[in-house]
Amino acid sequence: MIKIEHHGGVFQIHPLIDETSSLGSIPPLWLKLIEPKIIRPGDGHWIWDGQVFPSHGLPKMKNPETGKPMSARSYVAHLFWEFADPLACKMACGVRNCLKPGHMVITLPQSPIFQTFRS
């Protein structure tokens, strides 16, 4: 992948996708692992229709390399950005099971935006 942007330890490694993205600009792993389980209700969010963690309801998927359960939100974030702990991804829209890359923010866990949308 090509690193296209850098902001405070976060490298954007792929342009974000939306409804107008051409097929060739969409990461193949998104198409294979995420897209088949996305519903677009028409309100702007891309809703995960796959499994969720029973404890908190966040999107859950199998890690394609280990087969172990992992956060689908984290997986999607790492398709588009390169970042390391303690940075985390959060949905700026506040919708628990939305996975639209344009609604994600990469942030410190204690930053104001993280606190704002913590539920």
Q: Which lies closer to Zn ion via its Cβ, residue 20 or residue 66?
A: 20
Neighbours of 114 (CB within 10 A): 16
d(CA 60, CA 41): 20
Region binding Zn ion by CB under 5 A among candidate stretches 9-17, 37-45, 51-59, 69-77: 37-45
- Residue 88 as a binder of Zn ion (CB under 5 A): the answer is no
Question: Does residue 95 touch Zn ion according to CB under 5 A?
Answer: yes
Judged by CB under 5 A, the residue of 17, 33, 61, 98 near Zn ion is 98
Q: Which of 70, 93 has the CB closer to Zn ion?
A: 93
CB of 95 to Zn ion, least distance (A): 4
The string of DSSP codes covering 21-59 is --GGGS-HHIIIIIGGGEE--SSS--EE-S-B-TTT--B
Distance CA 69, CA 52 (A): 10
Write the single-letter amino acid at 103: H
Residues within the interface to Zn ion (CB under 5 A): 45, 93, 95, 98, 100, 103
